[in-house]
Chain A
Amino acid sequence: MRTLQSRNLTLGYDQRTVVQDLTVELPAGQVSIIVGANACGKSTLLRGLARLLKPTAGTVMLDGKDIHARSTREVARVLGLLPQTPTAPDGISVAELVGRGRYPHQGWFRQWAAKDDDAVNAAMAATDTEELAGRDVDELSGGQRQRVWIAMALAQETDILLLDEPTTFLDVTHQIEVLDLVTDLNRRKGTTVAIVLHDLNLAARYADHLIAMKAGEVVAEGPPSDVVTEQLVSDVFGLESRVIPDPVSGTPMVVPVGRHHSNGGSMPSAA
């Protein structure tokens, strides 16, 4: 099993520190979901874990070794990343884009081979994008496009997969579809997954391990049923809420209170 962890990790852009002295470990073979308010450093943490940012202090360890000390291509065979806003080149076909996922497995002397075809076909089958193979990525709907990008990440055949807000701009149907797909992958192949997610309820439902961040620090982590409490929602998001069991999954579900339309929370109506 691959392990990915940070030790006393500090990350920032130029002079600005975004993540401060942070130690986390992604449980191997599980789905970890990182949540937090906007600008809490959750995407920055993910980029740091994916070796896209050089730490200002501390280390990121992949299989117990400093990730920056290893060749980036070697890392790319083990650790895949789907960034927040990837851009598809003009006019590229779905099959070709998915094929780009094979980049770290190729080189000057190892050109495209049957193994690459297999990986691309398997990735497109897993994401249900086979019938799109010949289409231009430009022509696809948001949900289809996101499935194609995930297929590219799958074609990379990594044991660890990091996804930065993979459901942004998707309607609720496609959000569920993407998270189900990632869960399939985790269940079927034991892929270690880390996702940055906005939606707390979906995070609570799909995470094996939830990491809640605020102002560059981890406030709480663990199974969602332990972590998600009314107190935590208030601490992390500054939001008053009720937490009830999700009627579908039994996981915690956060119901915001807000200033209007409230009948006193869990109290019965006075009328």
Chain B
Amino acid sequence: MVAALGAAVVILFFVNVLLGSYTVTIPDFFRLLGGADIPGASFIVMENKLPRAVTGTLIGVAFGLAGTIFQTMLRNPLASPDIIGISYGASASAVAAMVVFGLTGVAVSAAAMIGALAIALLIYLVSHRSGVSGGASARLILIGIGFAAIMQAVVGYLMTRTDIRTAQGALVWLNGSLNSSNWDRVAVLAASLVLLLPAVAMLSRSLRGLELGDDAAAGLGVRVGPARLGLVVTAVLLAAVATAAAGPVAFVAFLAGPIARRLLGGAGSLVAAAGVGAVIVLAADFAAANLIPMFLTNGTALPVGVVTGALGAPFLLWLLVTTNRVGRGG
């Protein structure tokens, strides 16, 4: 199943690069990679489609891992960073950077990252003050949703205070978009993942203990405090670098883990969640940039976040309904 997911990622990657509004043949693609110059194709593939597909894959992996780590650790599918306010923290900070300080490009990404980390720290402090045992995870989620609402209000306020052109640019970013992907951003994203993925691998063992509950984990010899802190920091950083690269692509973090779990028919693995994340982003971006313009919107491409949001919202509702019915958090 994991192999099939890997194959799906590769296929969707090439579908994104080779097909769509500008079609490239496979031999041409490898000639381009080899450095050949094909008029027209060179720019579109090497400066647009390829970095876009790489960014899509990497943010899918990062969001998928971040969401699954949070959901597993807090034992609640609602505990994904795009629901508990971390993505909104990034958004508010990025929009402030664009609107108030007039920043663009990498500076906006940096602001998004700072915003995500700041909100995560705030949620941690507020929920930690009230103790860690018992209903801690439900409380943390509610506190996170509260912060999400505040951050949305901040975004709303900033958007009304600015001129229409800045607002439009901010709105595209807010929806989560791969349109402004370029190699500089890919480099930052890839370098971050090179640091973060080994950390995830090291912490994944502890995570398998923590998902049985803190006491059971401690009984098995997991160092609960340090393991949890390491996992939170890693997951927040993953969500932050992904958000910085492409905006808060809605619900990818939220969807990847539960889907991976259902695909594997058991306790899902982080690797599978990363694969599902990449599949969601690549498929949604192909739909948003090619299929929907072709069939629905008369040629207007959508930001990828619109499609993932449309997929995620019904899933959120379904989850809320079924979670209540079974009477448990997962």
Residues of A participating in the B interface, judged by any CB pair closer than 8 Å: 13-14, 47, 50-52, 71-77, 79-93, 96-97, 100-101, 103-104, 106, 136, 153, 156, 162
A52 x B221 contact (CB < 8 A): no
B219 x A52 contact (CB < 8 A): yes
The residue from A71, A85, A100 contacting B220, defined by CB atoms under 8 A apart: A100
How far, in whole Å, are A101 and B216 apart by their CA atoms in the complex?
10
**In whole Å, how far is B277's beta carbon from the nearest beta carbon of chain A?**
18
How far, in whole Å, are A106 and B222 apart by their CA atoms in the complex?
12
User: Which of B77, B209, B212, B222 gathers the greatest number of chain A CB atoms within 10 Å?
Assistant: B212
Residue on A nearest B264 in the bound complex, by CB: A91
Given the known inter-chain contacts A86-B213, A90-B261, A91-B266, please indicate yes or no for A103 contacting B222, CB distance below 8 A: yes
Query: Is there a chain A Cβ closer than 8 Å to B265's Cβ?
Result: yes
How far, in whole Å, are A84 and B213 apart by their CA atoms in the complex?
10
Q: Which of chain A's residues have a CB closer than 8 A to the CB of B208?
A: 100, 103
A-B pair count, CB < 8 Å, reads 88
Query: Is there a chain A Cβ closer than 8 Å to B311's Cβ?
Result: no
15 further interface pairs, Cβ-Cβ under 8 Å (given A14-B131, A51-B218, A82-B216): A47-B215, A52-B218, A72-B221, A72-B223, A74-B221, A82-B219, A87-B330, A89-B211, A90-B77, A90-B267, A90-B330, A91-B262, A91-B268, A93-B266, A100-B209
How far, in whole Å, are A18 and B221 apart by their CA atoms in the complex?
24
Can you name 20 A-B residue pairings with CB atoms under 8 Å? A50-B218, A52-B218, A52-B219, A75-B221, A83-B213, A84-B215, A85-B213, A87-B75, A87-B212, A88-B212, A89-B75, A89-B211, A89-B212, A89-B267, A90-B330, A96-B266, A100-B209, A103-B209, A104-B220, A136-B266
**In whole Å, how far is B177's beta carbon from the nearest beta carbon of chain A?**
32
Query: Is there a chain A Cβ closer than 8 Å to B72's Cβ?
Result: yes
**In whole Å, how far is A238's beta carbon from the nearest beta carbon of chain B?**
27
B190-225 CB mask vs A (1 if < 8 Å, else 0) is 000000000000000100110111011011111100
**In whole Å, how far is B132's beta carbon from the nearest beta carbon of chain A?**
10
A89 x B72 contact (CB < 8 A): yes
B330 x A89 contact (CB < 8 A): yes
**In whole Å, how far is A15's beta carbon from the nearest beta carbon of chain B?**
12
B218-236 residues at the A interface, CB under 8 angstroms: 218-223
A86 x B216 contact (CB < 8 A): yes
Given the known inter-chain contacts A52-B215, A91-B261, please indicate yes or no for A101 contacting B220, CB distance below 8 A: yes
Given the known inter-chain contacts A14-B131, A89-B330, please indicate yes or no for A81 contacting B267, CB distance below 8 A: no
Q: Which of chain B's residues have a CB closer than 8 A to the CB of A83?
A: 213, 215-216, 219
**In whole Å, how far is B226's beta carbon from the nearest beta carbon of chain A?**
10
B277-317 CB mask vs A (1 if < 8 Å, else 0) is 00000000000000000000000000000000000000000
B125-147 CB mask vs A (1 if < 8 Å, else 0) is 00000010100000000000000
How far, in whole Å, are A82 and B267 apart by their CA atoms in the complex?
21
How far, in whole Å, are A50 and B221 apart by their CA atoms in the complex?
11
How far, in whole Å, are A96 and B75 apart by their CA atoms in the complex?
17
**In whole Å, how far is A54's beta carbon from the nearest beta carbon of chain B?**
11
How far, in whole Å, are A83 and B216 apart by their CA atoms in the complex?
6
Q: Which of chain B's residues have a CB closer than 8 A to the CB of A51?
A: 218
**In whole Å, how far is A151's beta carbon from the nearest beta carbon of chain B?**
13
B219 x A81 contact (CB < 8 A): yes
Residue on A nearest B265 in the bound complex, by CB: A91
How far, in whole Å, are A91 and B212 apart by their CA atoms in the complex?
12
Q: Which of chain A's residues have a CB closer than 8 A to the CB of B77?
A: 90
Q: Which of chain A's residues have a CB closer than 8 A to the CB of B218?
A: 50-52, 72, 81
User: Which of B205, B216, B265, B268 gathers the greatest number of chain A CB atoms within 10 Å?
Assistant: B216
B221 x A104 contact (CB < 8 A): yes
Q: Which of chain B's residues have a CB closer than 8 A to the CB of A136?
A: 266
**In whole Å, how far is A93's beta carbon from the nearest beta carbon of chain B?**
6
Q: Which of chain B's residues have a CB closer than 8 A to the CB of A52?
A: 215, 218-219
**In whole Å, how far is A75's beta carbon from the nearest beta carbon of chain B?**
7
B118-130 CB mask vs A (1 if < 8 Å, else 0) is 0000000000000
How far, in whole Å, are A103 and B220 apart by their CA atoms in the complex?
6
Given the known inter-chain contacts A14-B131, A91-B267, please indicate yes or no for A72 contacting B212, CB distance below 8 A: no
Closest 8 interchain pairs by CB?
A: A76-B221, A81-B219, A83-B215, A73-B221, A104-B221, A103-B220, A90-B330, A92-B267
**In whole Å, how far is B329's beta carbon from the nearest beta carbon of chain A?**
8
A72 x B215 contact (CB < 8 A): no
Q: Which of chain A's residues have a CB closer than 8 A to the CB of B267?
A: 89-93, 96
**In whole Å, how far is A2's beta carbon from the nearest beta carbon of chain B?**
16
How far, in whole Å, are A72 and B72 apart by their CA atoms in the complex?
22
Residue on B nearest A95 in the bound complex, by CB: B266
B37-75 CB mask vs A (1 if < 8 Å, else 0) is 000000000000000000000000000000000001001
**In whole Å, how far is B201's beta carbon from the nearest beta carbon of chain A?**
10
Q: Which of chain A's residues have a CB closer than 8 A to the CB of B262?
A: 91
Residue on B nearest A102 in the bound complex, by CB: B220
Q: Which of chain B's residues have a CB closer than 8 A to the CB of A87?
A: 75, 211-213, 216, 330
User: Which of B77, B133, B261, B266 gathers the greatest number of chain A CB atoms within 10 Å?
Assistant: B266
**In whole Å, how far is B326's beta carbon from the nearest beta carbon of chain A?**
8
**In whole Å, how far is B214's beta carbon from the nearest beta carbon of chain A?**
8
How far, in whole Å, are A75 and B221 apart by their CA atoms in the complex?
7
How far, in whole Å, are A76 and B267 apart by their CA atoms in the complex?
23
